[in-house]
Structure 1
């Protein structure tokens, strides 16, 4: 038996973002079925999503994770996986805890198998609902489409910042670029708020200064690291050296990227395209959508990019105020798009 929320107390401030999610991004139809996975901390946002689904008239089920398994999860509860398989649309709207990536991979395996339209609202907050989720996602999609068409013809992307990033990603026509602009299709589930294009680089080298945020559970712990940036030296797509004045962050990041043989390998190279996101807020879900570059070490989304290796970890690294060149064409200056 799934859960339900009492909707007479839904915060009206959350409804524009919920409406965007259900109607514009996921385009839920009355004849469809939706599965919402949430947790106790995020119930307020899940209730707003449920309210909008009920306005559409679609059948739905809601699962509050703590009612089905202790946290942190060691796996996604089978009752939830079974329910997912009966829906056309799903939403993960919950906070992460250390060690739970495997449970989310189990969930997205079902999503991929059944080609569901899935909105991934991991670590969603009220602030994000009032900012990034209020974007004009049709505009974000149009910008993302212009950029991804250009990226697919590009061999090298050069990224530089005033804080010391000087990094070059080499691209391969055998490794696909994907667009996750917030308009979610059966072909690829996406984060909400949306707004990025990404690939897995064939190779990359240089200095990448993380003066925004790092991902996974480290983001919740450290937030905006502008005051103590993490400098990553990359050689042949792997971490060669790490430097950071915050020694605790340095050692946690080093340990995370030493988990398996590919945890220190650049798996994702991405450009954020959500122009409603204007400043780092210390939450990776929104911060990786800020116009600029982020890279991730570990899992390269091989099932989508075509990369020929895997990892059981994935950690995003976001910088600030980039100059970006696609081959010789400058597409961004100081964090502002030029296309």
Structure 2
């Protein structure tokens, strides 16, 4: 029997709680037509607490011009920089000529974090939000923190799947470049930022090598129209034709050196993203594990599925500043999710994940 989902209003009330919205705070909500119903409900939830809140819809061409944007609109930049809290969720738009990730979306983050807190959910829709928050949030948060304490102790691990993934990963939580971040979706203090869907553990790996067989989601594909309109079709396609990434140490840097896929269209697309975006687009910038064990199954939507308990992912391209992984630059950050992961601590051969299920002592 499918779990009953909370109402949109109850979910935006929880989202306001995660962002610690307070009375009289300036709260900027930036969205577009794809997220307008959610943003309107979020605006109402924040105003009910007495926050000074406004929703800015960047789909208004008369005000902001046509998309994809080649730069962040000046009004939006000014509003975000002045806000105590910013929440940002717009449709991911990328054409052959313009990808809004470097031209627009990446420019929001430093402005929002300069003086305030920043929550973001790229690719958000109402079903995703309601699924994400129709859980016992306190239980998810507490479990994520407990899992985080264990994963921070990892020095090296092997991740494997029945599909053939086998990757050895090195960690170093003492190095400022490779910190673990425990993301519960909460942002409490100025400078805090998070994907506000709970929850996951993420780091920039000190090193990784092996084979990573992407049979759940390859995030850049989610911008394609056929997968935007039918996210489950992406799950079905990658189940049938997974993307195989070969990862090797190249002069001390973990890089993807080869890509294979039986779907020629996906193969060409992935190779272009990985090898032709920039000099660091094939560099591994993230390893992460979802910790929301109360979400059932996959949706085909990256921001939700990356949080599902036991789902493992790597990201190629840029890393995240919260993990220290922003010490180099790339115009892409692309998640690659695998199902059914088993993770073994090579230090003591303890299995922390077994076929996607946590095994914490």
**Which residue, out of 264, 275, 280, partners 1:262?**
280
**Displacement after TM superposition at 1:326 (Å):** 3.0
Does the 8 A contact of 2:40 with 2:55 survive in 1?
Answer: no
Cα separation, 1, equivalents of 2:55 and 2:72: 14
Aligned residues: 325
Does the 8 A contact of 2:316 with 2:334 survive in 1?
Answer: yes
**Displacement after TM superposition at 1:302 (Å):** 4.0
**Displacement after TM superposition at 1:307 (Å):** 5.2
Gaps of 5+ in 2: 1-5, 228-233
After the TM superposition, list the runs of 4 or more consecutive aligned residues in structure 1 that deviate by more than 4 angstroms. Answer: none
Partner of 2:180: 177
After superposing the two structures, state which structure 1 stretch, 48-57 or 303-312, moved more. 303-312
Partner of 1:96: 92
Sort the Cα spacing of 1:307 and 1:37 in 2 relative to 1 into closer, same or farther, 3 A: closer
Q: CA RMSD in A?
A: 1.6
**Which residue, out of 202, 222, 239, partners 2:206?**
202
Cα separation, 1, equivalents of 2:66 and 2:263: 32
Cα separation, 2, equivalents of 1:185 and 1:27: 6
1:72 aligns with 2:72: no
Does the 8 A contact of 1:20 with 1:134 survive in 2?
Answer: no
Cα separation, 2, equivalents of 1:106 and 1:59: 23
Partner of 1:309: 328
Q: TM-score, normalised by structure 2?
A: 0.86
Does the 8 A contact of 1:178 with 1:305 survive in 2?
Answer: no
**Displacement after TM superposition at 1:145 (Å):** 1.3
Gaps of 5+ in 1: 1-11
Partner of 2:11: 17
**Displacement after TM superposition at 1:278 (Å):** 2.2
Cα separation, 1, equivalents of 2:325 and 2:34: 36
Q: What secondary structure sits across from 1:231 in the alignment?
A: strand
**1:221-240 → structure 2 map (5 Å cutoff):** 221=224, 222=227, 223-224=234-235, 225-236=238-249, 237-240=254-257
Cα separation, 2, equivalents of 1:270 and 1:86: 32
Does the 8 A contact of 2:121 with 2:303 survive in 1?
Answer: yes
Partner of 2:3: none
**Which residue, out of 151, 172, 196, partners 1:192?**
196
Does the 8 A contact of 1:296 with 1:314 survive in 2?
Answer: yes
